C-alpha cells in the first residue's frame, strides 16, 4: 500500500516537473534554435497592405522613375511599357469584361491590379528580373510613379511615397468580388496581425 502511494506521488512530482520545464521554455522557440530577428534585420523586408500601411520611408518622382526605367527595365518591358520579352505593363483598360469570345482580356498593372501598393511590393521583391532586391526604396517609389503616370493613373508631376502610393485608386479597384467561403482561421482579434488588420480589429 505504502509503495503504491509512494509511486503515485513520485509520478505526480515528475509530471509537475515536466509541466514546469515546459512553461519555462521560451514560447517562440519550440525547437530550441534560432533567435528573434532584430529590427535592423527586418527593415529590408517590406509587406505593404493595400492602404499603404507597411510601406517603408522614401520617395520618388515620375522623372526619376523614367530615367531608372530606361536603364533597368526597358530591355524587357519595352520603350513604351508595351512589353516585349516580358509583360506589357500598361493598357488593356476595359478589356477584362467583354462578350467577344475572340477578344482575350489584356491583364496589366493598369487594367487588372486592384492596389498600387502591390506595385511597390512586386518591384522591390522581384525586379529587375536579373537582380531582384537590388533597388533602393526611393528607386522603387520612383518606378511606381513612372509606371502609374504612363498608365494615366497619376499625373506626370506625381511623387510617390508611403502616403501618396497608398491613396492611389487603381482603375480595377472594385473589379474583384469577395470570396464568400467561410474562413477557417482564428478571429482577427486573436492573431498576431490584429493591429494591422484591414478595417480594424474584429469585434
The residue ranges that bind ligand HEC (CB under 6 A) are 72-73, 75-77, 86-87, 89, 108-109, 119, 122-123, 127-130, 143
147 versus 188: smaller Cβ distance to ligand HEC? 147
CB of 84 to ligand HEC, least distance (A): 9
CB of 14 to ligand HEC, least distance (A): 55
CB of 168 to ligand HEC, least distance (A): 14
CB of 13 to ligand HEC, least distance (A): 59
Separation between Cα atoms, residue 108 and residue 92, nearest integer Å: 7
35 versus 130: smaller Cβ distance to ligand HEC? 130
86 versus 201: smaller Cβ distance to ligand HEC? 86
Strand partners, 169: 115
Amino acid at each position: 500500500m505504502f509503495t503504491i502511494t509512494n509511486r503515485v506521488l513520485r509520478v505526480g512530482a515528475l509530471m509537475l516537473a515536466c509541466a514546469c520545464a515546459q512553461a519555462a521554455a521560451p514560447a517562440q522557440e519550440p525547437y530550441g534554435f534560432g533567435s528573434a530577428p532584430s529590427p535592423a534585420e527586418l527593415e529590408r523586408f517590406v509587406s505593404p497592405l493595400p492602404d499603404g500601411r507597411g510601406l517603408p520611408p522614401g520617395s520618388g518622382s515620375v522623372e526619376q522613375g523614367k530615367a531608372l526605367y530606361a536603364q533597368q527595365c526597358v530591355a524587357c518591358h519595352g520603350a513604351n511599357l508595351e512589353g516585349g520579352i516580358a509583360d506589357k505593363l500598361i493598357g488593356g483598360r476595359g478589356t477584362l469584361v467583354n462578350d467577344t469570345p475572340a477578344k482575350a482580356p489584356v491583364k496589366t498593372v493598369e487594367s487588372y491590379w486592384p492596389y498600387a501598393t502591390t506595385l511597390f511590393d512586386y518591384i522591390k521583391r522581384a525586379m529587375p528580373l536579373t537582380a531582384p532586391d537590388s533597388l533602393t526604396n526611393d528607386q522603387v517609389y520612383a518606378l511606381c510613379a513612372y509606371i502609374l503616370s504612363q498608365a494615366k493613373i497619376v499625373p506626370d508631376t506625381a511623387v510617390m511615397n508611403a502616403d501618396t502610393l497608398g491613396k492611389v485608386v487603381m482603375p480595377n479597384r472594385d473589379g474583384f468580388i469577395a470570396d464568400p467561403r467561410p474562413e477557417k482561421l482564428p478571429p482577427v482579434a486573436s492573431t498576431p496581425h490584429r493591429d494591422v488588420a484591414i478595417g480594424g480589429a474584429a469585434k
